[in-house]
Amino acid sequence: MWVWNKKKDAENKLKNYISLDGFPKIQGYNFDNNFNFKEFLKSYKNVGFQGSNLGIAISIFQEITEKNIPLFISFTGNMISSGNRELITYLVKNKHIKAIVTTASAIEEDVIKCIKPFHLGSFEAKGSFLAENFIGRIGNIFVPVDRYVYFEKFINEVFSEIYKKQKKDKKIFSTHEVAREIGLFISKNEHTIKNHKDSFLYWAAKNEIPVFCPGITDGALGDISVFFKRNHPDFAIDMTNDNKALTSLLMNQEKTASLILGGGISKHFLLNAAIFRDGFEYSIYLTTAQEFDGSDSGGDQEEAISWSKIKSDAKRVKVISDATITFPILVSSISN
């Protein structure tokens, strides 16, 4: 009765009545017809909730690719822990990416996975049991700690090569130069050479795509650097040159796009660099983080606009969902 009275009242004041007839209709994919993958992807736009946001992300991502808009991607290390590593490698190998910002664990685990794999475990496994059996856990992904023995040997050899070049050329390497050296060494090292083409660092080095790592001393890389620096006190990594290189790269593009998986330091480093050009013209967030605690990880795109990290008229969307669900769907929309 309330609804009917409301309708009658609205009809008497037509200027205030919005029929919504011109709005998209909520509708899911019809599986009674022959399955068409492209039409299935398009159907996400009309599903509602986060499905519609994913549909918007798909259309924006396709436009970025079709128009060859330089794409800057940031992601946290857990993306490399997971099967998203292969998708990132695909994008880098096929030159869909202009530059990468990531964390130390992404670099470590890309190297390690060239040596030995990670394994699917369980979120419910007891930490004490895993510790007793020398198994590290990343969510429901298990990592036997022997992997880090191989990584320590690998990275010490890389650090030694870098240190020699620094002494010879009297130049301190920045993180994207360190990442490039690691990528090149992956294709030569006895432990990584067999699977080097699975590495996003290798393809980034080969295709001259810089990989910035503002938190490079976090994790195992930082642990190993402690001991290396004890023996080589003048060994250093130049962080300021990363800022200069990334901002210069952004400022020299007519238009730019950002794809951000998760949050953390990698998200902020990329978005902050975009301030120098008054923000990105395109931006896609894939994240589970919420804005309610004021963290940069959860910060939405309206917040980024307030800092000129994203342009106010940008084509943009934030998809609140686990990136291991959304990112494969997104990448599938541009694959052959």
Tokens, residue 323? 């990136």
Distance (Å, whole) CA 109 – CA 171:
27
Separation CA 254–CA 281 (nearest Å): 10
CB 154 within 8 A of CB 116: no
Distance of CA 213 to the CA centre of its chain: 12
- HSE (side-chain half, CA atoms, 13 Å) at 1: 0
Whole-angstrom CA distances from 282 to 101, 147, 272 are: 17, 38, 15
> CA-CA distance, 157 to 200, in Å (whole number)?
20
Enumerate the β-bridge partners of residue 284: 259, 317
Quote the longest CA-to-CA distance of the chain: 85
Distances (CA, A) of 328 to 82, 234, 335: 11, 43, 10
CB 105 within 8 A of CB 130: no
What residue type is 186 in one-letter code? I
Which residue of the set 113, 309, 311, 318 is catalytic? 309
Q: Per the structure block, which two tokens stand in for 135?
A: 């198994």
Active site residue 309: yes
Q: Is 278 left (phi over 0), alpha (psi -120 to 50) or beta?
A: left
Catalytic (active-site) positions: 309
